[in-house]
Amino acid sequence: MFANLQKSFNKIGAKVIVKFADTEFLRGRRQRQVAPVRLNIITKSGEEIFEISVREDAHADLELSVLEVLAQDKHLLLLSRRLDGDGVAVQKDHFLCGRDERHLFVAAVEGVSTVAAAKDSLKPDELLHQETGLNEAKRNRRKTKAFRRQGEWFFIPVSLVVPAVLVRSHEPLVRGTGGKAHVARYAYRRGGESVMVCNRYPQGLTQVEHAALVASDPLAKSFAWRQMVRDATVFVKGSVRHADHATIVLAQWHRVLMNTEVQTETIAFLD
């Protein structure tokens, strides 16, 4: 069922293990694994390893295959297919696996058949328009005339004057699924909705939703909430730091865009 997976991952300098599980720990709580297959990155004896968790009742109908391996690029494209009794695929999930700067990563992508197409699918549309005519090598750089990239965030230079009173310092950038924050030295947010965020509610609750939760469950008041802004247009300048990536320095204001990674329960570790 999972033959030759390790050989493919060896080509990109990584190890992979497959385990069967009915339950999992998510944000400190045990619950049943919903997705037939779930990818994670774990650390054993100081080494990062890809972990594929297959739901026990789904493994007989599951097929895992590698569509493409780019050994020099240290990336591969993994396909998971759930088959019905006639061998027809009723569910497909695609995963881009590889190494980005210092650490392994995995990203859920739309139905593509090559590593290059998977990478392109993660870019916001407005960046793809600016890359027309560029070869693959130039399109995959972390720094171009059109943008800078750090992990899942893209930074696009803009001409902008921001009043000093509106500039925020040491501003965290966190996607709705949680994860380690990228911290910008200076930031300016425009628009968006004020929400209360904690580990149990990483996508945030509106003020009304937060008040209702605390009223119904007094213990929720101790969940280490912080106030953030959801769906704002964000601009940053200066250094942008993250524990897993090299620090970048932006001399002028840049608009912040998130990659278009598919938000799915098939990924346990996104950053």
Look at 18-27, 140-149, 172-181 and tell me which has the smallest mean pLDDT: 18-27
* Residue in the structure block whose two tokens are 């204001």: 253
User: CB count, 10 Å around CB of 221?
Assistant: 11
- What is the model's pLDDT at position 204? 86
Length reported for the chain: 271
What distances in angstroms separate CA 96 from CA 60, 104, 182, 253, one per listed residue? 24, 11, 22, 31
Indicate if the pLDDT at residue 266 is higher than 80: no
CA atoms within 13 A on the CB side of 94: 19
Indicate if the pLDDT at residue 256 is higher than 80: yes
What distances in angstroms separate CA 188 from CA 42, 101, 163, 204, 261, one per listed residue? 35, 27, 9, 20, 24
Indicate if the pLDDT at residue 10 is higher than 90: yes
Centroid of chain to Cα 254: 21
| Residue with the larger pLDDT of the pair 97 and 143 | 97
| Mean pLDDT for all residues in the chain | 83
| Residue with the larger pLDDT of the pair 227 and 74 | 74
- What is the model's pLDDT at position 267? 41
Indicate if the pLDDT at residue 264 is higher than 60: no
| Residue with the larger pLDDT of the pair 232 and 128 | 232
pTM: 0.68
270 pLDDT band, cuts 50/70/90, is: very low
